[in-house]
Amino acid sequence: MNEAVISVDGLVKRYGEVEAVRGIDLEVQPGEIFGFLGPNGAGKSTTISILCTLVRLTSG
């Protein structure tokens, strides 16, 4: 098995008291394509921003 190109375990992002992202686990292998689906305010953009190192995560 190849080493994951993206590996996240228990990602959390808080803005003060507000928990924007809670407990995301994600592993993407080389050549895989993935997407995020969800309603407005679900944390999709925040998660992608963390993965791109544009935003610091709180824990995980």
Write out pLDDT tens, residues 32-42.
Answer: 998 989 999 99
Residue whose structure tokens are 């050549």:
31
Predicted TM-score of the model (pTM): 0.80
3-class DSSP string for the chain:
CCCCCEEEEEEEEEECCEEEEEEEEEEECCCCCCCCCCCCCCCHHHHHHHHCCCCCCCEC
- What is the share, in percent, of the chain residues with pLDDT greater than 90? 82
Determine the Cα angle at 39 with ends 36 and 40, to 5°. 105
Domain limits of the chain?
6-51
Residue 50 backbone phi and psi in degrees, to 5: -70, -45
Residue with tokens 């305010």: 41
